[in-house]
Amino acid sequence: MVFIQQIKKQNINIKNDVLSGLTVALALVPEAVAFSLIANVSPLIGLYTAFIIGLITSFLGGRPGMISGATGAIAVVVVSLVATHGVEYLFSAVVLMGLIQITIGLLRLGKFIRLVPHPVIFGFVNGLAIVIFMAQLTQFKVTDSAGVQHWLSGTPLYIMLGFVLLTMAIIHFLPKLTKAVPASLTAILVVSAIIIYFNIPTRTVGDIASIAGGFPEFHLPQVPLNWETLTIIFPYSFIMALVGLIESLLTLAVVDEMTETRGRGNKECVAQGIANITTGFFGGMGGCAMIGQNIINVSSGGRSRISGIIAAVGLLLFVLVGSSLIEQVPMAALVGLMFMVCIGTFEWASLKIFRKVPLTDVLVMVLVTLITAIFHNLAIAVISGVIISALAFAWESAVRIRARKFTDEKGRKHYEIFGPLFFGSVASFQEKFDIQNDPADVIINFKESRVVDHSAIEALHKITERYSKVGKKAHLRHLSEDCQRLLTNAASIIEVNYWEDPHYKVAINTLEG
């Protein structure tokens, strides 16, 4: 009853959510199978992972309408673990991955995703769009009897291209005629009906792998519970946890922007952790939010938790009872759908701002895109972008520190400092002073500045020490309370002189007058 009341209160369109969920479920099948093959595990493992993670995060996640499942970002991390130690170690690594994610969520560290600059987000989504596009190109290849892959040619290629373009055309033009049904689902059904009715020879889902199976069973990972096992799985678990949360939280930010709403990052971290622990105990490979499927869901009208639940349950029903039908779905329809997802995911606006934003932002955007697209390593891509952006910001702040100088009627030299004093600006700060030619008393005014870190404290110590060596005194004035606390806490390390005024009570060797 409460759930129904929430639906009415939020004005949720159940029909759109149900149809959108079914569309996502169809799109999840080839993706889950492909990512399983990348990780060298059974296709059913990827399908079970998509079902379990999708269902749990739909109920517990940080925002309605988020779609999660088995992803390529996680699959590429675990390839070497599966190859070296076997699939049981994968299951245990996924459980530990979930525990790490829950810890991050409970510590409320998800808020740090706000530190990711916009160019990094642009690079992230552009890189993923390229990854999704490149992944579809394998459907245009065929393997010969010798096991060598070749590009399709002749009639098979024309059939594939024709139905891919038909799918894309339906998805693009149908919303201009009616929005009563999701264009993506309509395109899949129309193309499937044409190919099946006319018995047109082309690749189908069943040609990739069989998706028939039973209900996922509870399974304790068969690994020794000792320190050696922990040392084996922890590096993989930690990387998977970070990659999963980075992709999930950035995807959440993208969906927030698309729907003009705001999700809860820390809640999503905990939900992802619970989902991964569960999937680890049911023989899953781990996963996170999927930006492609989220784009499909949002563009098809999915806005509530219903769409995610329908997608997960629908995927399980495909495995249990509908495998014979789903295996007949032509890959051309799903490839066309994913091509449209690529077009919708790529931030085309980012290409228009190259000459309108700082060069550093452009470089960060391109770097994150390339690392994501080439190495499929989202953690390194995003962290690299954040580090470069932070260093660029530090440099810009460093070069902006300046000092206004004047001498008062009593012959005291004043330095009014503008800009933050921190590790990046201490060199420029020290160059502002003319110690040999300054009078006996020097006042350094920090009304328009802040002392930020230990490097800044050390710089103040050196300045006062240099003035002291030539028999002069340097006094610090108008330090904010947080700066005073910073200096007071460092009193055992350095000694500085404060100028006493009515607002700042801490004073050492104060100047009279």
For 242-297, the three-class secondary structure string (H helix, E strand, C coil) is HHHHHHHHHHHHHHHHHHCCCCCHHHHHHHHHHHHHHHHHCCCCCCEECHHHHHHH
Could you tell me if 296 and 412 lie in one domain?
no
Could you tell me if 408 and 347 lie in one domain?
no
Q: Give me the domain span that covers residue 313.
A: 13-209+218-351
Could you tell me if 28 and 144 lie in one domain?
yes
> pLDDT value at position 22?
92
Are 53 and 287 in contact by the 8 Å Cβ rule? The answer is yes
pTM for this entry:
0.78
Are 413 and 438 in contact by the 8 Å Cβ rule? The answer is yes
In a domain, 389, yes or no: no
Of 315, 333, 351, which closes a domain?
351
Could you tell me if 61 and 176 lie in one domain?
yes
Distant-in-sequence, close-in-space partners of 511: CB < 8 Å, separation ≥ 6: 441, 443, 473, 475, 497, 499, 500
Are 98 and 53 in contact by the 8 Å Cβ rule? The answer is no
Closest CA to 187 of 294, 334, 315, 325: 334
Q: Which residues, given as ranges, of the chain have pLDDT below 70? A: 1-12, 490-513
DSSP-derived 3-state class of residue 504: strand
In a domain, 340, yes or no: yes
> pLDDT value at position 111?
80
Could you tell me if 204 and 100 lie in one domain?
yes
Of 332, 351, 370, which closes a domain?
351
- Which tokens go with 406? 């004047």
Could you tell me if 312 and 452 lie in one domain?
no
Q: How many domains does the chain have?
A: 2
CB-neighbour burial class of residue 28 (10 A; exposed 0-12, middle 13-18, buried 19+):
buried
Are 77 and 101 in contact by the 8 Å Cβ rule? The answer is no
Q: How far is the C-alpha of 459 from the C-alpha of 351, rounded, in Å?
A: 43
Could you tell me if 347 and 407 lie in one domain?
no
In a domain, 229, yes or no: yes
Q: How far is the C-alpha of 128 from the C-alpha of 423, rounded, in Å?
A: 36
Could you tell me if 153 and 269 lie in one domain?
yes
- Which tokens go with 204? 């189908």
> pLDDT value at position 504?
42
In a domain, 507, yes or no: no
In a domain, 455, yes or no: yes
Task: Give residue for tokens 């005024």.
Answer: 501
CA–centroid distance for 140 within its chain:
30
In a domain, 110, yes or no: yes
Total Cβ atoms within 10 A of residue 455: 16
Q: How far is the C-alpha of 481 from the C-alpha of 379, rounded, in Å?
A: 38
pLDDT exceeding 70 applies to what percent of the chain? 93
Could you tell me if 407 and 327 lie in one domain?
no
> pLDDT value at position 495?
57
> pLDDT value at position 172?
93
List, as one string, the DSSP characters of 1-33: -HHHHHHHHTT--HHHHHHHHHHHHHHHHHHHH
Could you tell me if 343 and 407 lie in one domain?
no
Q: How far is the C-alpha of 292 from the C-alpha of 76, rounded, in Å?
A: 17
Element (H, E) at 429: helix 426-430
Cα R_g (the chain), whole angstroms = 30
Strands 473-477 and 441-448: parallel
Give the CATH number for residue 407: 3.30.750.24
Element (H, E) at 151: strand 149-151
In a domain, 497, yes or no: no
In a domain, 243, yes or no: yes
> pLDDT value at position 8?
54
Looking at the DSSP assignment, which residues form a beta bridge with residue 417? 403
Closest CA to 298 of 270, 326, 262, 257: 257
Q: How far is the C-alpha of 499 from the C-alpha of 477, rounded, in Å?
A: 5
CA angle 500, 501, 504 (to 5 degrees): 80
Could you tell me if 300 and 179 lie in one domain?
yes
